[in-house]
Structure 1
Amino acid sequence: MPNYTLTYFDIDGGRGDPIRLAFHIAGIPLDDRRIGFEQFAQLKPTLPFGVIPVLEIDGQPVTQSNAILRYIGKQADLYPTDPVQALYCDEAMDALEDTTHFVVQTFGLEGEALKTARENLAKGKLKAYLAGLEDLLQRGGGEYFADGRLTVADLKVFVQTRSLRAGNLEHLPADLVDTAAPKLVEHMQRIANDPRVAGYYSQRA
Structure 2
Amino acid sequence: MPHFKFYYFDVRGRGEVIRLLFHLADEKFEDERFGMEQWASYKPEMPLGQVPVLEVDGVKISQTTAIARYLGHQFHRAGTNAVDCARLDMIAEVIQEFMSSEGMGKFSRVLLGMIQANKEQFFKEMVLPDIEKYAPLIEKFLLENGNNGLLLGDRETWVDVFAAESFSKVIDYGSPDALDAYPHILALINRIFNHPNIKKYVAGRKSTPA
- Tell me which interval the TM-score lies in, with the shorter structure as reference length: 0.7 to 0.9
Shift of 1:110: 2.3
Is contact 1:141–1:148 with CA below 8 Å preserved after alignment? no
* Change beyond 3 A, Cα 1:95–1:47: same
Secondary structure, counterpart of 1:148 in structure 2: coil
Cα distance between partner residues in 2 of 1:122 and 1:91: 22
Structure 2 distance, partners of 1:123, 1:27, is 34
Structure 2 vs 1, CA of residues 39 and 140 (structure 1 numbering), >3 Å: closer, same or farther? farther
Cα distance in 2 between the residues matched to 1:8 and 1:141: 35
Does the residue aligned with 1:189 lie in a helix, a strand or coil?
A: helix
1:137 to 142, 157, 166: 142
Contact 1:177 1:184 in 2 (8 A): yes
Which residue does the alignment assign to 1:68?
67
The answer as to 2:179 corresponding to 1:182 is no
Which one of 152, 156, 163 corresponds to residue 158 of structure 2?
A: 152
1:161 aligns with 2:171: no
Q: What are the ranges of 5 or more consecutive residues in structure 1 without an aligned counterpart?
A: none
Q: CA deviation at 1:123?
A: 4.1
CA deviation map 1:127-171 (0-9, x unaligned): 21012111111112232111222001111111122221112xxxx
1:39-70 deviation line (CA, Å, top 9, x unaligned): 22443344222211101112221111111112
Cα distance in 2, alignment partners of residues 89 and 14 from structure 1: 22
Closer, same or farther: CA 44–174 of 1 in aligned 2, 3 Å: farther
- State the alpha-carbon separation in 1 of the partners of residues 167 and 47 from structure 2: 28
Runs ≥4 in structure 1, deviation > 4 angstroms? 114-117
> What is the match of residue 191 of structure 1?
192
**Structure 2: runs of 5+ lacking an equivalent:** none
Partner of 1:33: 32
Q: Classify the secondary structure of the residue corresponding to 1:144.
A: coil
Kindly provide the amino acid, as one letter, of the partner of residue 68 in structure 1: I
State the shift of 1:6 in Å: 0.2
How far off its partner does 1:83 sit? Answer: 2.0
Counterpart of 1:6 in structure 2 is: 6
Query: Which secondary structure does the structure 2 equivalent of 1:50 belong to?
Result: coil
Is the 1:122–1:176 Cα contact (8 Å) retained in structure 2? no
> Closer, same or farther in 2 for the Cα pair 1:68/1:177, shift >3 Å?
same
The within-5 A match list for 1:88-127 is 88-102=87-101, 103-105=104-106, 107=109, 108-111=114-117, 118-127=123-132
Match of 1:173 in 2: 175
Identity of aligned residues (%): 28
SS at match of 1:33: strand
**Distance change (3 Å), C-alpha of 1:123 and 1:32:** closer
Partner letter of residue 90 of structure 1?
D
Give the alignment's TM-score, normalised by structure 1: 0.84
Name the TM-score, length of structure 2 as normaliser.
0.82
| CA displacement at 1:73 relative to structure 2 | 1.2
Secondary structure, counterpart of 2:55 in structure 1: strand
